[in-house]
Amino acid sequence: MRIALYQPDIPQNAGAIFRLAACLGIPVDVIEPCGFVLDDRRLRRVAMDYGGHAEIVRHASWNTYSGARAAGRVVLLTTSGAIRFTDFIFEPSDTLLLGRESAGVPESVHQAADARLIVPMAPGARSLNVVTAAAMVLGEALRQTGGYSELPEQGET
């Protein structure tokens, strides 16, 4: 399981994703350009001391990422998704792709995804914070694929 951030533009969200990934042992692909300097102090503040524990791979562009990405499906989280994430059958090799906070992903990236998932929301709600959506979907994906069983119990070393 992996997380990929497509041209993230809010450093606090990227930092929170890095922290989530570090805590759950999930690698993160950052598809540039970012809307901030990747070592931005705000990013470090949100990631706290977890940023150094996250496995982060940077890619100069979508094309670079596409040519070098890990095997498995690209699963896009999008407000225009066709499948509820709770109805999707995840595989351990899936990459959860998150779009830019301000614009999502372009149509070409949308079409390149193997699946497009939506987080169901109350009527009138526009969208969830990208980190909240990622945590919800990643939690379900790890539950389905046994990813939590690979992590030690709290207090174990």
Write out pLDDT tens, residues 95-138. Answer: 999 999 989 999 999 999 999 999 999 999 888 999 999 999 99
pLDDT in tens, 20-56: 999 899 999 999 999 888 765 666 665 666 666 788 8
The values of phi and psi at residue 40, to 5°, are -50, 135
Output the CA–CA distances (angstroms, integers) from residue 13 to 90, 102, 116, 117, in the order listed.
24, 12, 21, 20
Q: What mean pLDDT comes out for the span 15-23?
A: 91
- Look at residue 100 in the predicted model and tell me its pLDDT: 94
pLDDT in tens, 59-80: 999 999 999 998 999 999 999 9
| Cα torsion angle, 18, 21, 27, 30, sign | negative
pTM > 0.75: yes or no:
yes
Show the domains of the chain with their CATH numbers. 2-150 (3.40.1280.10)
